[in-house]
Amino acid sequence: MTELELKYGCNPNQKPARIFMEQGELPLEVLNGRPGYINFMDALNSWQLVKALKGATGLPAAASFKHVSPAGAALGLPLSDVERQMYFAPEGDLSPIACAYIRARGADRLCSFGDWAALSDPCDADTARFLALEVSDGVIAPGYTAEALEILRTKRKGGYNVVKIDPEYTPAPIERRNIFGITFEQGYNDLVIDEEMLKNIVTKERDLPQTAKNDMLLALITLKYTQSNSVCYVKDGMTIGVGAGQQSRIHCTRLAGSKADIWWLRQHPWVLELDFLDGIRRPERDNAIDQYIADFTVLTRGGAWKHFFKTCPKDLTPAVKEEWIAQCLTGVTLGSDAFFPFGDNVERAHQSGVKYIAQPGGSIRDDQVIETADRFGMVMAFTGMRLFHH
């Protein structure tokens, strides 16, 4: 197939719409549903991300995309008991690719509502069963088991979007796009992100364990496919906060840092012990948890908590939240798609437990940024490579 007609473009008034190849066949196949214009933008960006992650680490990888940026990305590492609880994961053994998607979705469950899922490995029944329970628009993977495909074809009254991608497909070296009737042309961004980019450590502290290197690779590859400006916090092989598309780098750092804080607060014992009413669905639980963490008074005002919980939860005060974050959120890695212009980004990162930083460097204030990192005992690597994505 050289082209695929779409219902419409970014918006319903944007017709006609299609995806097509100027030469050769499309490297994908729609196995179920009818993906739209934005669906395919998410699918193709997310596939590049997980393919690159698998190539860089050797581990299965997954991503949860919304509006052409990742809400979460993760490697296929085993789930802890706490993670199973906070991500609503099923009991029993789970495949590595299922763990990867559960962790990617769990990075920011609120933003992953209605996501596009991407899998580096073939989708199996474990992954399909979890996807079937979530609000999601579609999935892209290099293959599907017969059982997985049967499960996914029952989702959304049979309309769930399932796309199979050729894992051997390589794009043309030159890419083009039209904006306002004008054609832009550039070389495809085939930059390989690997450990060679992490060798220029500029801080006094130089100890960079392998786990931190893997987290740096995860952060940088995620940023390569995130709308700029962007900053990414990573811990234990998964993103825990992505700040995308902000005009100011400090706002990226704050936004991503606040998401990282929320991810950690979801593990607070008071959050884990929330006693939900019977029949509360996953999206409602996610919203209630987010509301509880953000502002307890909203839930108590007018007895709003009664819509979600059997008993009124404990007051998660600012002091309680601050103590929990400061107590245990450590060893976090941060990546930035462009240089930090001021040390304030490092100061904000420190508040969310950042120990390791990967950024291009090249600011006229690099000395100030390095000095700030040294003050907090951080390890910072200058990659020398900007990762803007638009």
Residue 183 within any structural domain of the chain: no
**What pLDDT score was predicted for residue 296?**
81
Q: What is the pLDDT of residues 253-281, one digit of tens each?
A: 999 999 999 999 999 999 999 999 998 99
pLDDT above 70 for 324: yes
| Single-letter amino acid code for the residue at 198 | L
pLDDT above 90 for 114: yes
Residue 178 within any structural domain of the chain: no
**What is the C-alpha to C-alpha distance for residues 141 and 143, in angstroms, rounded to an integer?**
5
Catalytic residue among 13, 157, 178, 390: 390
Residue 170 within any structural domain of the chain: no
Regarding whether 43 and 124 lie in a shared domain, the answer is yes
pLDDT bin (cut points 50, 70, 90) of residue 371 is: very high
CATH number, domain at 54?
Answer: 3.40.140.20
- Three-state DSSP class for residue 160: coil
Q: What is the pLDDT of residues 209-231, one digit of tens each?
A: 999 999 999 999 999 999 999 99
Instruction: Please tell me the total count of domains within the chain.
Output: 3
Nearest to 41 by CA among 12, 65, 11, 71: 65
Q: What is the pLDDT of residues 32-58, one digit of tens each?
A: 999 999 999 999 999 999 999 999 999
Catalytic residue among 39, 45, 229, 345: 229
- pTM of this prediction exceeds 0.85: yes
**What is the C-alpha to C-alpha distance for residues 85 and 67, in angstroms, rounded to an integer?**
27
Q: What is the pLDDT of residues 51-106, one digit of tens each?
A: 999 999 999 999 999 999 999 999 999 999 999 999 999 988 999 999 999 999 99
Residue 175 within any structural domain of the chain: no
pLDDT above 90 for 329: no
Regarding whether 355 and 212 lie in a shared domain, the answer is yes
Query: Catalytic annotation on 67?
Result: yes
pLDDT bin (cut points 50, 70, 90) of residue 22 is: confident
CB 224 within 8 A of CB 189: yes
Regarding whether 273 and 260 lie in a shared domain, the answer is no
71 φ, ψ (degrees, to nearest 5): -80, -25
Residue 221 within any structural domain of the chain: yes
**What is the C-alpha to C-alpha distance for residues 127 and 123, in angstroms, rounded to an integer?**
6
**What is the C-alpha to C-alpha distance for residues 9 and 56, in angstroms, rounded to an integer?**
34
**What pLDDT score was predicted for residue 1?**
67
Range of the domain at 259: 189-265+326-382
Q: What is the pLDDT of residues 346-364, one digit of tens each?
A: 999 999 999 999 999 999 9
Q: What is the pLDDT of residues 132-167, one digit of tens each?
A: 999 999 999 999 999 999 999 999 999 999 999 999
Query: Catalytic annotation on 390?
Result: yes
Q: Give the chain's mean pLDDT.
A: 94
Both structure tokens of 5: 């007609």
Regarding whether 154 and 18 lie in a shared domain, the answer is yes
Give percent of the chain with pLDDT exceeding 70: 100
Regarding whether 198 and 68 lie in a shared domain, the answer is no
Regarding whether 122 and 223 lie in a shared domain, the answer is no
| Single-letter amino acid code for the residue at 303 | G
CB 270 within 8 A of CB 313: yes
Taking each continuous run of H as one helix and of E as one strand, the counts in the chain are 13, 15
pLDDT bin (cut points 50, 70, 90) of residue 196 is: very high
Regarding whether 139 and 248 lie in a shared domain, the answer is no
Domain boundary residue, one of 315, 350, 373: 315
Regarding whether 311 and 370 lie in a shared domain, the answer is no
pLDDT above 80 for 328: no
Residue 388 within any structural domain of the chain: no
70's CB contacts (< 8 A; 6+ apart) are 46, 49, 63, 64, 104, 222, 225, 226, 239, 242, 244
**What is the C-alpha to C-alpha distance for residues 366 and 223, in angstroms, rounded to an integer?**
21
Catalytic residue among 54, 66, 213, 321: 66
Residue 171 within any structural domain of the chain: no
10's CB contacts (< 8 A; 6+ apart) are 37, 38
Regarding whether 93 and 25 lie in a shared domain, the answer is yes
Regarding whether 259 and 360 lie in a shared domain, the answer is yes
Regarding whether 330 and 309 lie in a shared domain, the answer is no
Regarding whether 142 and 15 lie in a shared domain, the answer is yes
**What pLDDT score was predicted for residue 389?**
92
